Amino acid sequence: MKKFLILILIAHFSNFIFSQQVGINIGDIAPDIKLPNPKGDSISLYSLRGQVVLIDFWASWCGPCRKENPHVVQAHEKYHDKNFKIGKGFTIYGVSLDKNKENWEKGIKEDKLNWHNVSDLAYWQSPVVGKYGVKGIPSNFLIDKDGIIVAKNLRGSILEETLEKYVIIDPVISFEDKLKDLKLEYNNLEHSDEYGNSKELKKLKKNIDNIEKSIKTLKK
């Protein structure tokens, strides 16, 4: 009986593990991409595992892409060094559908796309277009540390809003914000007509001391 139960559990977990399929829908493992950067070095999407990655399809000749790039740059600058519930750090794997290398490199420089930029310069004939079902650009996929797609086609402020949902809040920052509020409250009470309420002041002072100790402990 015990052996039978063990076999059932093994089968259950095996089905769970192998149910994760490679695909382009939310919940799927994103297909690997291995394309050269401007220097000619091949970069694999899977080599970025562990981080939160935005797979961003664009091109220098694409007007809407160029208009969207400032939003992507802003998100990268704000979140590249953050820790997330779904990965450590945020990076971008920019896949260009350009066919002219000079124009591609010029677009990267002009728009300040300081991340992983790759392209086979095959335009719409690039195999990756079919692999990801790209029908138009800009188009993007947000994947977690395990390469699982968690969101698609995040435009404008939606990209930052989505990333923000997954950010792990630094407890030190939270404590420091609380400390700032308590000190302000303490200072206001100390210089108010209610200064005689020493009981309230002592309570605030005790809370301030406890938070300062917690911050010191966390910073060690």
The pLDDT of residue 158 is 97
Give the pLDDT confidence of 119-148 residue by residue, as tens digits.
999 999 999 999 999 999 999 999 999 999
| CA nearest neighbour of 68 among 151, 117, 138 | 138
Beta carbons within 8 Å of 87's beta carbon, 6+ residues apart: 50, 51, 52, 53, 144, 145
The pLDDT of residue 123 is 98
Helices (H), 37-191: 63-79, 101-111, 127-131, 157-166, 171-190
Q: Provide the residue ranges of all domains of the chain, joining segments of one domain with +.
A: 22-166, 171-219
Residues of the chain with pLDDT under 50: 4-5, 7, 9-18
Beta carbons within 8 Å of 182's beta carbon, 6+ residues apart: 204, 207, 208, 211
The Cα–Cα gap between 54 and 78 comes to 14
The pLDDT of residue 195 is 59
**How many other C-beta atoms can be found within 10 angstroms of the C-beta atom of residue 161?**
11
Q: Which CATH architecture has domain 22-166?
A: 3-Layer(aba) Sandwich (3.40)
The pLDDT of residue 157 is 95
Joined together, the tokens standing for residue 77 give: 């600058």
The verdict on pTM exceeding 0.75 is: no
Burial of 139 (0-12, 13-18, 19+ CB in 10 A): buried
The pLDDT of residue 184 is 87
Give the pLDDT confidence of 68-83 residue by residue, as tens digits.
999 999 999 999 999 9
